[in-house]
């Protein structure tokens, strides 16, 4: 069973997907409860329930948005995606066939790294403000996390905030923080505290 974003249940016209993630979870639970010992039947029931649900209705109403934007670019594609449903003057293909990365015409012809993405987010914090990220017990990092998990915060932070400095893991670049709070959720030892930074600090999403 594939649910939520994994199944593409985001209404891209509204950029809303939480309700569909929850709804598809409810349908999956119903299908499993009705077919507790028969996984194949549960999967079939799940598909039927989704097709009858609000998820399918909404996805139908928002279909072709991504494909139209991919085909014509955001400026022309967004209005066309609304009109396109009424006046289909161009060939619309099946989404799952058309929407592959390989066929996305507007992708920049270069690779991106974390630093570039962080720069694009235009994050701004006063450089001298106290760090809004704290590692509660650095001993845990050194003796438990690094030997077992190789300090995953260094990898999972999308902004490269955590680094090993003189053999100690630290939130070395707090001013890059994107406020996603991944670190507080994903640290295997619940060893990171994210607090609200000074007012006005953070990514400048409107300038992206």
Ligand X SMILES: Cc1cc2nc3c(=O)[nH]c(=O)nc-3n(C[C@H](O)[C@H](O)[C@H](O)COP(=O)(O)OP(=O)(O)OC[C@H]3O[C@@H](n4cnc5c(N)ncnc54)[C@H](O)[C@@H]3O)c2cc1C
The residues, any chain, with a CB within 8 Å of residue 6's CB and separated by 6 or more, are: none
2-10, 71-79, 96-104, 112-120 -> range binding ligand X (CB under 6 A): 2-10
Give 19 or 181: the residue with its C-beta nearer to ligand X: 19
Q: Does 84 bind ligand X (CB under 6 A)?
A: no
Q: Which of residues 126-155 bind ligand SF4 (CB under 6 A)?
A: 133, 135, 140-141, 145-146, 151-153
17-25, 63-71, 118-126, 140-148 -> range binding ligand X (CB under 6 A): 17-25
Q: Does 189 bind ligand SF4 (CB under 6 A)?
A: yes
Q: Does 4 bind ligand X (CB under 6 A)?
A: yes
Count of other CB atoms within 10 angstroms of residue 143: 11
Q: Which of 5, 115, 124, 190 binds ligand X (CB under 6 A)?
A: 5
**At its nearest, how many Å lie between ligand X and the CB of residue 59?**
12
Please write down the HEC assignment for all residues of 41-58. HHHHHHHHHHHHCHHHHH
19-48 footprint of ligand X as x/- string (CB under 6 A): x-x---------------------------
Count of other CB atoms within 10 angstroms of residue 71: 22
Alpha helix stretches (DSSP H) within the chain:
18-34, 39-52, 54-61, 65-86, 95-98, 114-120, 138-140, 146-149, 153-156, 182-186
**Burial grade of 127 (CB within 10 A; 0-12, 13-18, 19 or more):** exposed
Q: Does 1 bind ligand X (CB under 6 A)?
A: no
Q: Does 121 bind ligand SF4 (CB under 6 A)?
A: no
Pairing of strands 133-135, 192-194: antiparallel
Give 126 or 181: the residue with its C-beta nearer to ligand SF4: 181
Measured CA to CA, the distance from residue 129 to residue 136 in angstroms comes to 19
Measured CA to CA, the distance from residue 10 to residue 1 in angstroms comes to 17
Give 55 or 183: the residue with its C-beta nearer to ligand SF4: 183
Kindly list the residues in this chain that would bind ligand X in the complex (CB under 6 A).
4-6, 10, 15-19, 21
């Amino acid at each position: 069973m594939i649910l939520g974003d994994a199944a593409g249940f985001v209404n891209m016209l509204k950029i809303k997907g939480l309700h569909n993630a929850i709804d598809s979870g409810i349908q999956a639970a119903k299908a499993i409860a009705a077919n507790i010992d028969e996984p194949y039947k549960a999967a079939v029931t799940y598909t039927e329930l989704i097709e009858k649900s609000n998820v399918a209705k909404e996805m139908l109403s928002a279909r072709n948005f991504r494909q139209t934007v991919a085909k014509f670019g955001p400026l022309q594609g967004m209005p066309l995606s609304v009109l396109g449903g009424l006046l289909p003057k161009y060939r619309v293909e099946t989404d799952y066939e058309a929407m592959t990365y390989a066929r996305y015409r507007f992708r920049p012809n270069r690779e991106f790294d974390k630093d570039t993405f962080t720069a694009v987010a235009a994050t701004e914090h006063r450089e001298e403000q106290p760090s809004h990220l704290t590692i509660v017990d650095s001993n845990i990092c050194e003796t438990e996390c690094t030997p077992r998990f190789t300090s995953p915060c260094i990898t999972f932070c999308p902004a490269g905030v955590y680094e090993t400095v003189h053999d100690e893991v630290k939130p070395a670049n707090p001013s890059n923080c994107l406020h996603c709070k991944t670190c507080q959720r994903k640290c295997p030892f619940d060893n990171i505290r994210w607090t609200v930074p000074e007012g006005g600090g953070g990514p400048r999403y409107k300038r992206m």
